[in-house]
Amino acid sequence: MIPGAFSGKTIGIVGGHGGMGRWFASFFRDMGLAVEVSDLDTAMSNEELVLKSDIVILSTPMAVAVSLARELGPLMTEEKLFVDFSSLKEEVVQAMVDFSSAGVLGVHPMFGQYTASMQGQNVILTPGRGDLWTDPFRCLFEDAGAVVSVMEAATHDRHMAFVQSVTHLITIATGAYMMQENMDPETACRVATPIFRLNVDFVGRLFALDLGLYEDLIARNPYAREVSGLFAKVLAETSGILLDDPSADKRQRMEDIKNFLGAFTGDALRETNEILNCRFMKKD
């Protein structure tokens, strides 16, 4: 059921012919909502879309979203809602607040354009100005099966420094190590455990997608350097305990981490068993 706040509203997506723009244009239309799109190849300009829309969503690369927030913001009057789908929030949400009079809501879908549905996917909301639209968007996404969290933009970006920046750095470094050691993907897959095979798959997946996106996710996050440095320190400390220090209580280190994770370890074991069985199940 569509929340009442959306009744009679038109959603405009700037960047509506990009991967996520197309995904959400289809999603909103399937919900019965009116959708307009603008992009580099559309007859409708961004300015025309803003004038025709009640809710304007920026679905573009991060650097472009900040520029568009400044450019289109003066057209966004107080009765409208300004939204973005960027993977980082502080800079673009602040730009939407500073250059418009509209309500502002950051939305970060934690999935990509090849996702079949919103079922079970995480979506993060970062309110910027006003809170009238936070609950309607939460309800809309939750009704579609999403798991929705609400947090401040700065908190979001610091989480993303680990969830995205460090994760992608590790994946890129894995590819760099394979290249340095001349371990081609075929060889890597032939000697792989199921877990390592999935890691190799994720290396290949990253380099099959938009490399500019990953540059932005790492370089534009203001917390990435600090968090990646902390991770490198923990990696060095853990390596020292497990590899170098004969006096270290290696088992205790592992038990401490296990105790911190708690009951999640059992849940994770069951979930990853399902993933691995599905990934490597032989077809009839």
Q: What is the pLDDT of residue 153?
A: 98
In a shared domain, residues 210 and 122: no
Please report whether residue 229 resides in a domain: yes
Q: Is the pLDDT of residue 192 over 80?
A: yes
Range of the domain at 22: 4-151
For 256, residues 6+ apart whose C-beta sits below 8 A from its C-beta are none
Q: Note the pLDDT tens digit of each residue in 93-134.
A: 999 999 999 999 999 999 999 999 999 999 999 999 999 999
Q: Is 161 domain-assigned?
A: yes
Q: Give the per-residue pLDDT at 284.
A: 44
CA 247, CA 252: separation in Å to the nearest integer?
A: 12
Q: Is the pLDDT of residue 202 over 60?
A: yes
The total of structural domains in the chain comes to 2
Alpha-carbon distance values, 74 to 51, 56, 69, 80, 100 (Å): 11, 13, 9, 12, 5
**What mean pLDDT, rounded, does the chain reach?**
95
My answer on whether 123 and 24 are in the same domain is yes
What is the model's pLDDT at position 282? 58
10 and 137, same domain (yes or no): yes
pLDDT of residue 226: 97
User: What is the reported pLDDT for 24?
Assistant: 98
145 and 82 both lie in a single domain:
yes
Q: Do 178 and 134 lie in a common domain? A: no
Which domain-ending residue is among 103, 121, 151? 151
pLDDT for position 199: 96
Q: Residue 165: CA atoms inside 13 Å, Cβ hemisphere, count?
A: 26
Give strand ranges (E) for the chain.
10-14, 34-38, 55-58, 81-84, 103-109, 122-129, 147-150
pLDDT mean over 221-232: 97
Residue 96 lies in a domain: yes
Residue 36, number of CB atoms within 10 A of its CB: 19
254-269 mean pLDDT: 97
- 119 and 166 in a single domain? The answer is no
261 found inside a domain: no
Residue 160, in any domain of the structure: yes
| Distance (Å, whole) CA 274 – CA 63 | 38
Q: Let me know whether 107 and 167 are in one domain.
A: no
Inform me whether the pLDDT recorded for 1 exceeds 80.
no
Query: What percent of the chain has a predicted confidence (pLDDT) above 90?
Result: 89
Residue 269 confidence (pLDDT):
97
pTM: 0.91
Residue 283 located in a structural domain:
no
Mean pLDDT of 200-229: 94
pLDDT value of residue 283: 53
The reply to whether 36 and 106 lie within a common domain is yes
Written as six digits, the tokens of 259 are 């105790």
pLDDT for the residue 169: 97
Is position 93 within any domain?
Answer: yes
For the chain, how many residues are written? Answer: 284
Whether the per-residue pLDDT at 232 is higher than 80: the answer is yes
Which CATH number characterizes residue 118's domain? 3.40.50.720
Instruction: Convert the pLDDT of each residue in 39-69 to its tens digit.
Output: 999 999 999 999 999 999 999 998 899 999 9
pLDDT of 248 strictly over 80? no
What is the percent of the chain with per-residue pLDDT over 70, rounded to a whole number? 99
pLDDT at residue 279 in the model: 86
| Same domain, yes or no: 60 and 108 | yes
